[in-house]
Every structure is written in structure tokens, then in C-alpha cells.
Structure 1
Amino acid sequence: MGDKKKILLGVSGGIAVYKAAALTSKLTQAGYDVKVIMTASACEFVAPLTFQALSRHDVYTDTFDEKESSVIAHIDLADWADLIVLAPATANVIGKLANGLADDMLTTTLLAATAPVWIAPAMNVHMYDHPAVKRNIQTLYEDGFRFIEPSEGYLACGYVGRGRLEEPEKIVRLIQSYFRIDGRGPLKGKKVLITAGPTVEPIDPVRYFSNRSTGKMGFALAEKAAEMGADVTLVTGPSHLEDPYGAAVIRVQTAEEMLNEVMERFDQQDAVIKSAAVADYRPAHPMSHKMKKQEGPLSVEMERTADILKTLGEKKQHQLLVGFAAETDNVHEYAMHKLVKKNLDLIISNNVTIEGAGFAADTNLVTIHRKDGTSKELPLMSKNKVAESILLEAAAMLRLEKEE
């Protein structure tokens, strides 16, 4: 990571303080330098000694407890941090910040801070929905604070709903992505659109045709492209994956919806990478009501969907166009045929029958084919590493086009 990034963690009082301890541990393990400020209420749930042991730093709880005489603690901490994270943030501390109040070590430090501040609320579902809390959150957002929204789940009060502190693992991933994205990468200033996931083509309101795609490859491409400095739009079919940090995400269902969203933005793009597994066929006459079970076999008339990649190839002007070919045999021949037929610049082929290269896997085994007929085989590697290799190839081609 180079020089350690410095995280100031503010912990306010609630049952979710135990998660803040886990967050401290995970951030330290990930290589960050972590210092902790606790409110008096937070100390009622978990002792400061726990955070001291996990962070390997003194824990700050009292504005008047100056641990080092050469500096004023709350000013020094505010200047020290690269990023400040409040987790958990109670309704009380959110209200104080929104009104500029500073009556303890945490709020005093925050008023002196110039680093970005992220707030991860945690409270009862009705408290989170209270007009005053909503108003305070909106005020803080307009002031430049950013929020890690609470997730839904079982709360300590017995209710089920929004209000649970986001899991430490996700907060760490968000922080890691934030520090990786600096806008100075090989795709700086480029607009890149990526498609991902399957499409679902309805038979009736409860049934549909789809495929095994999970979106993992496309999401990895979107996150990596953002890390490389690109302005990224991800158009994705149904997926349970979390939105990649730094990308604008548009969610669609059908092939037609995906085509419309892509075409609406195509003219402004420098590169389009179509990794989505779009349905080739859809039911010709989807029903508006649930189809009842009947005796004997069932036939569903199917019709072709629009070929998104072919449409893009026909309409492209300056764009670099990248496609995928997921095959089960004659992979190289089919890939090169597809590249020429659809007017692509690059095509990424893989044999989905090989272990570790299928739709749901975290790894992939691909070959990058260029329109000049040359190709580059990559070893089995994580989809994040595959994404990096593909994007570096695309960035090199974009630079070459610019020079020409």
C-alpha cells in the first residue's frame, strides 16, 4: 500500500460498538493506521482498552485528557487523518454534527477536521425514519459528509428493518476502493461503459428464461476501470453483487432494456466492454397472468432478441468495442469469427467447461484476441486480475489510436 493511510474512527454509543471493534481489527490487518475516539456512551458498551489493543494506539475519550503536551489532541487528530469514519453513528451524534455542536472529544475533533468524513448510522428502525434524523442526515450530506447506509436485519431492540450498522467487511472494502481510486490511472479521462450479468426474459409474471451468469466478470471490470481513472457506467442485469465503488450503476431486466440503456449512452463513450450474457431468445408472447399447469407437454414460442454487440459494431465511430465469447468447443475459431462479424476491436474468449472458468467462479481462464489476428493467453487467475489485464490492453489501444 506504500505509505500507510490514516483512518480516524469515531465510535458513538450503541450496541453496534462491538462491530466497531471488529472494524478496527480488520482495518489494522489491512494495513491502515487506525486511531479511535470514543464517546462516553460508547465506553459503556466496550472498554477503551479493547480498541487500544486492536489499534495499537491510545484511545481518545476526553477533550481535556491531553496525552501529548506538544500538541492539542483534537486539532492534531483532525490534521492527522486521511479519512474519518463514524461507526456506529447514533441519532444523537448525527444531530450534534448537523447543528455544529461540539461538547465532547469526538464532535470537537470533527468540527476541526478537513479530511473526508463518512458516517455509518446505527439505530432503531423508527429512529432512523424520524423526520428530525432524516433532516439532519440531509443537512450533513449537503455539507459534504457521506453516508454508509445501514442495512436491513434483526435489530437489538427486537425490530426487523433498516438501522443495523453495515458489516465491517463491507466498510473495509469501501475504504480500500476509495483509496485506490485517484483518477491518475491509464484510463484517466476516458468514458467506459460495461455490461454485466444475465438478462431475464419473462414467460409470465412469475416465470422467466435466463442463464447462469452472475455478473462477477463485469462487476470486476467496472471496479477496476474506475480504479484506473475512468468515468464508468455499468449496465447490469439481475445480480446479487454489491455496486462497484466508483461506477454509476444502471440495473435492467431484459435484453431490450439493456440495449436501450447502452444505445442511449453509446455516443459519449470511449470504450464499451460487453461482458453481459444476454439472452439470444425470448418468449414471443409473454403472458400478463400466471400460466396454469396443464396436462401434457408445453411449448413456448420463442423469438430472437436484438444482438446488442452487433448493433454497436454497426454504429460505432470512435469507440473501442470489446466483446466476450463464452464457448464450449472450437473456442479460438468462434471467437475470431465473432470479432470480424461484429466489428470488434478485442474479444475475450473462454471455455466455460474448464474448471475455474465458469460463470459463478471467482477465477477465469481467458484469451485476449485482437483484430490484427494476434492473441494473448492468460493463465488461470482471479476475475479481478483478468479485468486488469483486459483494461490494460484496452488502454494501450486507446493510446495508440490517439497517437495515430
Structure 2
Amino acid sequence: MLADKRILLIIGGGIAAYKSLELIRRLQDQGALVTPVLTRAGEQFLTPLSVSALAGAAVHRDLFDLTTEAEMGHIQLSRSADLVVVAPATADLMAKMAQGLANDLASTLLLATDTPVMAVPAMNVRMWEHAATQRNIETLKADGVSFCGPNEGSMACGEFGPGRLAEVDEIVTEIIAKLSDGPLQGKRILVTSGPTHEPIDPVRYIANRSSGAQGAAMARALRDLGAEVVFITGPASVCPPEGVTVVAVETAEQMSEAVDSALPADAGVFAAAVSDWRVVNASDQKLKKSKDGLPVMEFAENPDILKRVSHLEKGRPDLVVGFAAETNDVIEYATAKRLRKGCDWIVANDVSPATGIMGGSENAVVLIGENGAEEWPRMGKDQVAQQLAQRIAQALTS
């Protein structure tokens, strides 16, 4: 998937640097051409020989290497790649990037490049959470630098929290998405997925049987076509895909707020099974059986996310796709829902127990738009997602 793509890999100094060796191998397995740059701090964890042997190319280390400068100057090196990847991106390296310093080869390349840059941070949790680091991250994001990770977990220093280098599989997936030549390259698409949980008390909640499988499949399919995907998910049983921006929520109100924060977008795919109601008088303590009888719950309507987004006067996505899970009269109810909500398309399906679709691996949908209803054969949810993603790409690029 990365055939002949050129990646300039800058290896910062940190214990996570050892993972860059596996990253080089995995990128080469995808067909990429990797040019390594090893910082002086990185040399404390990796030898230039090991990096060079795996990359099959000379390791660039010194800004004032006369031989290297004669063969390929640092300016040319900074612009000859399709993507610059900084992994691990240490707090020091990111500070240099944010402030525009250029006092070694790595920082000079990053300042001189006109190529997209992706940072893969790795550092101690306190360093990651420090206000200075967070300011630098915001500056880099505003400058167009993308990020992969960090993950949360235990660290070599013995502490636990955000700061672990993203797994190699995640990094490769993100690089593939960045270098995709798919039709949705440059498009930002919002996908909601999974159920919502509406609390009754601290241990009980109202939910539904949605697994989040179709929404996750949609996010993967859109990512694979080159889209930047913001994936807002309730407490689903299916793990979110890699290579997308994941926003985890629990309630419908939280999902509504997350959608607002994710806009603007070129398209919105609202696959989440959002609860219609919430408990207004939810208890902050576990409800107990009582001689006074059953507890009385008061309900209120949840935000209608699909309808609200469909009717936005400013910032409405060019394409708004809703989902309708019905148990009878699927086309009739879903057609009425599309008109009522104001969305462009409705993807409807029959989730009555006999179909096995709710929580299953297959789906049978009807795509409903202004030109009528189009029934699709039953197929795997990944296939449904791929077919729908292609339709979305056609709609956004035609």
C-alpha cells in the first residue's frame, strides 16, 4: 500500500526508539523507501549500524557532514520525501519544532521541509502533561503537523499514563492513511457509532444492543479511501479502528457535544444508535428495593443530533447520512425519517430478532435518498461499509 512512497524517519532520543527498528521493517514490507535520520540523543539508544542495516540506506546524523552535503544537501533531503515521520518525537524535539529552532540536522530538516510532518510522541507522563509541552503541541497542530498517539500505559520509568509510543501497527496504519491516494484525500468526515448509555443510577443505565460494528466498519472504509475520520463512539463492544481520531462518549448529550466540537466536516455519517430518552431524575446512589414500591423515573428527550446537524444554516456538512434501525415497514418508516430529519441519505435496515443483524457480523440495508430506495443484498458489515464509502466518495467529488 506504500509502494515507492518515500518516508524520512527522524528517530529521537528515548527508550521507545527501539521500536523504530520494527517500524522501518514494517514500512518496507508495505513497499516504502525509508531514509533514516538519527539524532545524537537517539544514538544513545540505537546504533547507526543497526538502523542502516535495516533501512538498507545510509543513516543521516550530522548537519555538517561534508560528504553527505556534497551528495544530498539537507535542504534537498528535507523535501525529497512524501512524508516526514518523527518517531519517537521527544518533548525536546517537539519544543524545537514549535519554536522553529534549527541547531542540529533533525531540527533543520523539520524547519526546511515543505513535506507533511507526522509526530509520534513518546515521553514520561509528567513531561507529556506539562503545560509547556501542551502549548507546543497546540502550536504544531496549528502549523499543520499531525499526531499519532501517544498511548496510555506503563512506562520504562515505572509510571503509568499517557506518553507511551503508539504501537507500530497504529503508526503504519496512520502513515498509510496519510499517504493514501484515495478519492477522499483531503476530506474530513465525522462518524458516530455504537450505543449510548443513559444512567439510572451509578450502576444501572438504559442502553440498546448495538455493537458499534457497522460504525467502526464505516470509519475504516472511509479512512482507507484517504479521508480524515473523526470517530465519535459510545460504549461499543467493537474496538475503534486505528488511523482515525477517536472520541469516546457515554451519553447522548456527550455525543451531541462531541459532534459540535468535530464540525466542520465535509460529510457526517451518523451510525450511532442514540437513545431517544434519558432519565431526568437519575440517582447519584444505587437504588434499593423499598417497601414504598417501585422507583418512579422521569424521562426527557435526548438531543436529536441527526436532525440538528441536517438543519444547520452554517457549517452543515455537504453530505449528511443517517441510519434507521427498524423492526417492520422498513422502507416506509425510513423514508419518513429522512424527510423528518432533513438528511441527504438514510441507511435503513431490519433489526428484528429473526434477522440476527443487531450485534451480528452481516447487514442488509436499503439506501434511501431523494431518488428513492435502493435495496442492497445481505453482506458482511465491512462490505456494506466499503460500498457506502464509495458512494460517499462519488457524492463528495462529483
Q: TM-score, normalised by structure 1?
A: 0.74
Shift of 1:15: 0.8
**Separation (CA, whole Å) in 2 of partners of 1:310 and 1:351:** 20
1:327-375 superposed Cα distances (whole Å, 9 cap, x missing partner): 6xxx6x532232234245543325586899553x6x5332334463542
Give the structure 1 partner of residue 334 of structure 2: 339
CA contact (8 A) 2:362 2:378 kept: no
**Separation (CA, whole Å) in 2 of partners of 1:232 and 1:95:** 27
1:279-330 superposed Cα distances (whole Å, 9 cap, x missing partner): 3554464224332356899666575846949967997999876543546xxx
Aligned mate of 2:272, from 271, 276, 285: 276
- Amino acid corresponding to residue 324 of structure 1 in structure 2: F
Give the structure 1 partner of residue 234 of structure 2: 237
Of 313-322 and 204-213, the range deviating more from structure 2? 313-322
**1:308-327 correspondence to structure 2 within 5 Å:** 308=304, 322-326=321-325
Shift of 1:27: 1.9
SS at match of 2:42: helix
SS at match of 1:87: strand
Is 2:156 the counterpart of 1:156? yes
**1:219-234 correspondence to structure 2 within 5 Å:** 219-222=216-219, 224-225=221-222
Give the structure 2 partner of residue 388 of structure 1: 386
Give the structure 2 partner of residue 165 of structure 1: 165
- Amino acid corresponding to residue 274 of structure 1 in structure 2: F
Q: Count residues in correspondence.
A: 387
Is 2:183 the counterpart of 1:199? no
CA contact (8 A) 2:213 2:381 kept: no
**Separation (CA, whole Å) in 2 of partners of 1:64 and 1:398:** 48
Of 37-46 and 348-357, the range deviating more from structure 2? 348-357
**Separation (CA, whole Å) in 2 of partners of 1:156 and 1:20:** 16
SS at match of 2:36: strand
Label 1:21 to 1:244 Cα distance change in 2 as closer, same or farther (>3 A).
closer
**Separation (CA, whole Å) in 2 of partners of 1:139 and 1:307:** 34
Give the structure 1 partner of residue 342 of structure 2: none
Label 1:43 to 1:224 Cα distance change in 2 as closer, same or farther (>3 A).
same
**Separation (CA, whole Å) in 2 of partners of 1:356 and 1:50:** 52
Shift of 1:160: 1.9
- Amino acid corresponding to residue 289 of structure 1 in structure 2: Q
**Separation (CA, whole Å) in 2 of partners of 1:79 and 1:230:** 24
Shift of 1:105: 3.2
CA contact (8 A) 1:222 1:244 kept: no
Q: TM-score, normalised by structure 2?
A: 0.75
Give the structure 1 partner of residue 176 of structure 2: 176
Label 1:124 to 1:219 Cα distance change in 2 as closer, same or farther (>3 A).
same
Give the structure 2 partner of residue 290 of structure 1: 286
**Separation (CA, whole Å) in 2 of partners of 1:5 and 1:117:** 14
Is 2:182 the counterpart of 1:218? no
**Separation (CA, whole Å) in 2 of partners of 1:311 and 1:107:** 48
**Separation (CA, whole Å) in 2 of partners of 1:307 and 1:142:** 31
Label 1:56 to 1:212 Cα distance change in 2 as closer, same or farther (>3 A).
farther
Give the structure 2 partner of residue 93 of structure 1: 93
**Separation (CA, whole Å) in 2 of partners of 1:218 and 1:156:** 35
Is 2:360 the counterpart of 1:365? no
Of 67-76 and 147-156, the range deviating more from structure 2? 67-76
**Separation (CA, whole Å) in 2 of partners of 1:199 and 1:87:** 36
**Separation (CA, whole Å) in 2 of partners of 1:394 and 1:98:** 36
- Amino acid corresponding to residue 58 of structure 1 in structure 2: A
CA contact (8 A) 1:313 1:343 kept: no
**Separation (CA, whole Å) in 2 of partners of 1:93 and 1:286:** 48
Q: What is the percent sequence identity of the aligned residues?
A: 36
SS at match of 2:200: strand
- Amino acid corresponding to residue 36 of structure 1 in structure 2: P
**Separation (CA, whole Å) in 1 of partners of 2:218 and 2:179:** 18
Of 310-319 and 41-50, the range deviating more from structure 2? 310-319
Label 1:8 to 1:233 Cα distance change in 2 as closer, same or farther (>3 A).
closer
**Separation (CA, whole Å) in 2 of partners of 1:316 and 1:109:** 43
